[in-house]
Amino acid sequence: MFSDNFSLNLVELGHFSAHLAMVVVLVQGLAPMLAKPLQQPRLAAISVNAAIAAFVLTSIGGLSLIHAFVTSNFSVMLVAQHSNTALPMFYKVAALWGNHEGSLYLWVWILTLFTAMVAWHGRRRYPERLPVILGVQGWLALGFFGLILFLSNPFERLLPVPVDGHDLNPLLQDPGMVIHPPMLYLGYVGFSVPFAFAIAALVTQWKSEVWIGWIRHWALVAWAFLTTGIMLGGWWAYYELGWGGYWAWDPVENASFMPWLLGTALIHSITVQDRRRMLHSWNIFLVITTFSLSLLGTFLVRSGVLSSVHAFAVDPGRGAYILMFMTLVLSVSFGIFLTKGRYQQAQEAITSFLSRESLFVWNNVIFTVACACVLLGTLYPLALEALTAAKITVGAPYFNAVMIPIFLVAILLMAIGPLVPWRKASVERLRQRLLVPGVLALVAASVMWIFFRPIHWTGPVATGLVVLGLGTLFTDLWRSVQVRRSQHQGEGLGRATARTVAANRRHYGGMLVHFGILVIVMGLVGSGLFRSEKSVAMVPGDVLEIGGERLRFDGVRTVQGANYQAVQARVTVLDGGYVVLPERRQYMRQEAPTTESGIHSNLLRDVYVVIAEPVGEKWAMRAFVNPLVQFIWLGGLILIAGVVVSLSDKLSPSRRRTLSRAEGARA
């Protein structure tokens, strides 16, 4: 009885804490605005303590909800609808964000976390502007608290209390979906910090030399989390949904991809501003637009306007609220930008078309165009249906036809970039340094075209660009190592390489990110152009030949999980003696079938098998051989490692400018 009362009271405490947190973020937003009119400068400092208090209060609410899930407190409607007593503990915790109300609470919880981190971090570094930054964050949090507490209340109670709950969506009962949403939200919400900095810079006429470094740091952190979330989502879709792919240009996938594209442009553009003191206004535009696209992603997923495996269908009132909130944020932020943006003027200009800053500008153009194309393909069907009631689908054919050429151009710019210095490049030196990588690229493209015919033109072109990129990355590093060895006689190659990288981790972290992207491209080419697929009906003992592999179907058995029953097939990969175990699960509470693929992986290929319903005495089987698909996940790990290396760079701006001049001298 005591335990039951404690659980009930804890939920009420959490609910009260969430309401109190809403009041606190209102104070956080108002305090900086009222300090000047009331001539009370100390009033602004309240926002710092308010930011930390809001996170503590929001955490109490979030932890009370997690406790309700863990203890199966079905008096909470959210728990009754998305959990039950048989659900494994791992998924009971993750069930908090496996639904509309809980996922929104996670959104605002992360927002208050980042705001508290900014408050703690900024007390000594930028105390004068900190209250304004926190004020912006406070108004954002207030908007989401309003949605959560009045339209999507996760603390809503249920009477009478049911004996058991409904269960978590079976598709979400997977380790990938436990980690994937928080990573995406850390990315989405992370871009709110650069947004708050940019608005504060506009309002207070903050010099860009000071705030641009902080924006870069937070943008890179947000981009890394968003990248991780996208990669985990692709990985989950690959092994869980049973279709052999990892990206389908689903509208909700696009919702996360659009801020990633503009976030990528922003990170490159910030580098130009940091090094060459230009693109100030453009960077603020990118910051505002990137965060606005994060809000758009929230609207698309939570409004019910999309039908998707990722989306939660909800009532139109919630979608209307999110749309109005997003419109308000856009209107206010761009209004401030248009009226105050003239104070953020560039101090330098591009002096040569053939320079690194020029390539970065073209990089921005490419990624902005790519984002616009994805936005058009995602929103056009929605707009058409709203205006004419006509329903159309814009799918993979459109996106592949438009996006692949754009990305190939981006890879070309990425490949050439490391060899081009700031300000102006010597055409002759650039030609000499591109000669060997260029020849290797042509050879690689020609080999693929000759020996793998017939093949789509994108295969040889992408392969050539990957080889060109790898060649220029190696050339850039080798040139710097040789300069160091000439300055430090007797230093070994390994030591010189390690110290060269350590001396400029920001640059070589970026090069490692580029290397990861090239590895991902290899995986996309291999799995996209050379995939083998067969659908057959088999009886035990049958052998299927596909993609150079021989698969023997050994039969099926029934297995019992914690809250499901499954038919598990045994398939042997004869050439290596490996066994894969695809399953078809039936979740008892929801009576919903799901497919669990059986996969055997090595670095060069995946053997991927899915079992379907029996056809008479035979079992329907679908098999794939996906070459190089592991390169996609490996490239993602390399990419994140590059971000970590880049973030570890603690060089001062003056030291970075010295290194920039040294790079120019070597060029």
DSSP secondary structure of 502-526: HHTHHHHHHHHHHHHHHHHHHHHHH
Q: Tell me which of 534 and 311 has the higher pLDDT.
A: 534
In this prediction, residue 139 carries a pLDDT of 95
Give the residue from 568, 572, 564 showing the smallest Cα distance to 556: 568
In this prediction, residue 346 carries a pLDDT of 58
pLDDT of residue 316 exceeding 70: no
- When pLDDT is averaged across residues 320-343 and rounded to a whole number, the result is 86
In this prediction, residue 666 carries a pLDDT of 45
pLDDT of residue 585 exceeding 50: yes
DSSP one-letter code for 157: B
What pTM does this model have? 0.91
State percent of the chain over pLDDT 90.
Answer: 49
pLDDT of residue 4 exceeding 60: no
pLDDT of residue 82 exceeding 50: yes
pLDDT of residue 655 exceeding 50: no
In this prediction, residue 551 carries a pLDDT of 95
H/E segment holding residue 594: strand 592-596
pLDDT of residue 659 exceeding 90: no
DSSP one-letter code for 628: T
pLDDT digits 0-9 by tens, 221-260:
999 999 999 999 999 889 888 888 899 898 888 989 999 9
pLDDT of residue 656 exceeding 60: no
pLDDT of residue 653 exceeding 90: no
In this prediction, residue 466 carries a pLDDT of 95
Q: Which structure tokens are listed for 244?
A: 């052999």
Q: Tell me which of 561 and 405 has the higher pLDDT.
A: 405
- When pLDDT is averaged across residues 75-96 and rounded to a whole number, the result is 89
- Beta strand 564-573 with 532-538 is unpaired
In this prediction, residue 573 carries a pLDDT of 94
Q: What are the domain boundaries of the chain?
A: 1-168, 174-340, 410-530+631-666, 532-627
Q: Could you tell me if 646 and 505 are in contact, meaning their C-beta atoms sit under 8 angstroms apart?
A: yes
Q: How much is the CA Rg of the chain, to the nearest whole Å?
A: 27
Range scoring the smallest mean pLDDT among 59-63, 216-220, 440-444, 504-508: 504-508
In this prediction, residue 385 carries a pLDDT of 75
H/E segment holding residue 533: strand 532-538
In this prediction, residue 6 carries a pLDDT of 62
pLDDT digits 0-9 by tens, 43-54:
888 999 999 999
Q: Which structure tokens are listed for 564?
A: 């499901």
Helices (H), 151-278: 175-190, 192-204, 208-240, 251-276
- When pLDDT is averaged across residues 556-569 and rounded to a whole number, the result is 89
- When pLDDT is averaged across residues 545-559 and rounded to a whole number, the result is 93
pLDDT of residue 343 exceeding 70: no
Give the three-class secondary structure for 372. helix
Kindly indicate the confidence band of residue 205, based on its pLDDT and cuts at 50, 70 and 90: confident
Is the CATH number of domain 174-340 1.20.120?
yes
pLDDT digits 0-9 by tens, 636-648:
999 999 999 999 8
- When pLDDT is averaged across residues 361-378 and rounded to a whole number, the result is 93
pLDDT digits 0-9 by tens, 447-500:
999 988 888 899 999 999 999 999 999 988 888 888 888 887 777 888 888 888
pLDDT digits 0-9 by tens, 89-143:
888 988 998 888 898 999 999 999 999 999 998 888 888 889 999 999 999 999 9
Judge if the upstream peptide bond of residue 160 is cis by omega within 30 degrees of 0: yes
In this prediction, residue 574 carries a pLDDT of 93
Q: Which structure tokens are listed for 176?
A: 């990938």
- The DSSP secondary structure of 548-577, one letter per residue, reads TEEEEEEEEEEEE-SSEEEEEEEEEETTTT
Q: What angle, 0 to 180 degrees and rounded to 10, lies between the N-to-C axes of helices 208-240 and 192-204?
A: 160
Please give the Cα distance from 45 to 227 (Å, whole number).
35
C-alpha distances (whole Å) from 391 to each of 72, 120, 394, 600 are 42, 50, 10, 40
Q: Could you tell me if 32 and 131 are in contact, meaning their C-beta atoms sit under 8 angstroms apart?
A: yes
Kindly indicate the confidence band of residue 30, based on its pLDDT and cuts at 50, 70 and 90: very high
Query: Which of left, alpha, beta for 442 (phi over 0: left; psi -120 to 50: alpha)?
Result: alpha
- When pLDDT is averaged across residues 68-85 and rounded to a whole number, the result is 91
Give the residue from 476, 467, 464, 461 showing the smallest Cα distance to 510: 476
pLDDT of residue 651 exceeding 60: no
Write the single-letter amino acid at 620: A
Give the residue from 476, 503, 481 showing the smallest Cα distance to 650: 503
Kindly indicate the confidence band of residue 345, based on its pLDDT and cuts at 50, 70 and 90: low
pLDDT digits 0-9 by tens, 268-303:
998 888 777 777 788 899 999 999 999 888 777 766
In this prediction, residue 42 carries a pLDDT of 79
In this prediction, residue 347 carries a pLDDT of 60
In this prediction, residue 239 carries a pLDDT of 87
